[in-house]
Amino acid sequence: MSLETALSKNDWSQIPEKKLKKVYVFWGILSKFLIINTSIICAFLKLMECHYSCKVLWEFQQEEKRLPTTSEDDIRKLKSLRDSLLTSNSVKVSIVTDEFLE
């Protein structure tokens, strides 16, 4: 029995208990799978943010021959480098947030 069929029933007492248990087990497994994959995706996105931030910092140091400061000019330069680096790699610019660079 599909979930759609189960949900479309007006009277749940018409559905055999064995079939309901299968639906519960299936959704229980699926929800655990989604939670695990969600945490893996979050960790991967954080890793990407760190990776590209390091590349941006490296490019800044190559161009400016110094570490960036918290000045507006340096922040603007970091954001510009981030935009060009991520765009050239076909990665969404939002992977490395402005807050992360500041």
pLDDT of res. 41: 75
CA distances from 22 to 4, 10, 17, 41 (A): 14, 19, 9, 28
| Mean per-residue pLDDT over the chain, rounded | 78
Q: What residue spans define the domains of the chain?
A: 3-101
Inform me whether the pLDDT recorded for 4 exceeds 70.
no
Q: Are 49 and 95 in contact (CB under 8 A)?
A: yes
Inform me whether the pLDDT recorded for 83 exceeds 70.
yes
Average pLDDT, integer, range 64-79: 92
% of the chain with per-residue pLDDT over 70: 74
Q: pTM for the whole thing?
A: 0.59
